[in-house]
């Protein structure tokens, strides 16, 4: 599989939890099964017949991506392996260029964003992030994902991270506060145009800026998106309703140079 030239050590650890890159088909399948459990069984995504039969979430991008895993050595799966309790899917720009582009381009016009950067800029697409329900209350689980991601970013000298992130549900009026907050307070700069595809574009500016309580709006964000914006990420223009996953997606644009130094220091620890 593309992108697995490196034999990765454990990227970070805390107690019986560790984060690393999947290196076998079995580990990737464990990540896909976790995604199925979270997206299709716990949430309201609609699986294809093949996914339902195999109880895995998969698409063509899995073959070319790296899969960041948090595993619990204190719990074993049906194969006797440490249980995968969280995952992230990572696609580097040079790999995407050889295999038909990025997943995000199915929802957003990212070509202007790519052109806005000098040739040779190192991009990394983030996606398919999920955490097993029983581990979401343990903040260390998500922290380990971020720590592993920072090691990966450093290894490949990544300069820009981006990808789609989701708010639950497809009723944009219900989501008007978080969408408007992201639009008014974290919108991408004008010189880096990132916009939802015209046929999918949903207006995010649904509440005037002066009517927004920023603290309340921040609390209304899903933890992943809240983490992104707190760390320094921008949000692209326009949301996209994803009926298959029963979510409303926004575009994350995150230059590595924008990472808050306090955030970077916090997630640079390799072991607790």
Task: Look at the block and give the residue holding tokens 């914006």.
Answer: 229
Three state DSSP letters for 188-227: CCCCCCCEECCCCCECCCCCCHHHCCHHHHHHCCCHHHHH
Q: Which residues of 154-182 are buried (b: 16+ CB within 10 A; e: fewer)?
A: eebebbbbbbbbbbeebebeebebbbbbb
Of how many residues is the chain composed?
272
The residues that bridge with 177 in the sheet, in sequence order, are none
Strand pairing class (82-92; 17-21):
unpaired
Q: pLDDT tens per residue, the chain (272 residues)?
A: 444 556 678 899 999 999 999 999 999 999 999 999 999 999 989 999 999 999 999 999 999 999 999 999 999 887 778 899 999 999 999 999 999 999 999 999 999 999 999 999 999 999 999 999 999 888 899 899 999 999 999 999 999 999 999 999 999 999 999 999 999 999 999 888 899 999 999 999 999 999 999 999 999 999 999 999 999 999 999 999 999 999 999 999 999 998 877 777 666 656 66
């Amino acid at each position: 599989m593309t992108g697995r030239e490196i034999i990765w050590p454990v990227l970070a650890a805390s107690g019986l939890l560790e984060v690393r890159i999947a290196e076998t088909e079995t580990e990737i399948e464990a990540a896909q099964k976790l995604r199925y459990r979270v997206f299709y069984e716990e949430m309201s995504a609609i699986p294809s017949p093949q996914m339902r039969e195999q109880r895995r979430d998969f698409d063509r991008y899995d073959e070319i991506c790296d899969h960041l895993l948090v595993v619990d050595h204190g719990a074993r799966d049906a194969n006797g392996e440490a249980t995968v309790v969280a995952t992230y899917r990572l696609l580097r720009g040079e790999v995407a260029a050889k295999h038909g582009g990025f997943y995000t381009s199915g929802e957003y016009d990212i070509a202007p964003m790519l052109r806005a950067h000098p040739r040779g800029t190192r991009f990394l697409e983030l996606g398919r992030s999920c955490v097993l329900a029983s581990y979401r209350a343990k903040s260390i689980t998500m922290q380990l994902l971020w720590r592993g991601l920072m090691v990966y970013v450093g290894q490949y000298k990544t300069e820009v991270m981006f990808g789609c992130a989701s708010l639950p549900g497809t009723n944009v009026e219900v989501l008007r506060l978080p969408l408007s907050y992201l639009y008014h307070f974290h919108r991408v700069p004008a010189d880096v145009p990132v916009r939802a595809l015209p046929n999918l574009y949903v207006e995010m500016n649904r509440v005037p800026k002066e009517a927004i309580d920023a603290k309340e709006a921040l609390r209304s964000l899903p933890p992943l998106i809240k983490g992104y914006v707190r760390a320094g990420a921008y949000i692209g223009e326009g949301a996209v309703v994803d009926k298959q996953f029963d979510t409303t997606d926004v575009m994350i644009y995150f230059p590595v140079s924008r990472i808050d130094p306090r955030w970077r220091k916090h997630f640079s620890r390799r072991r607790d």
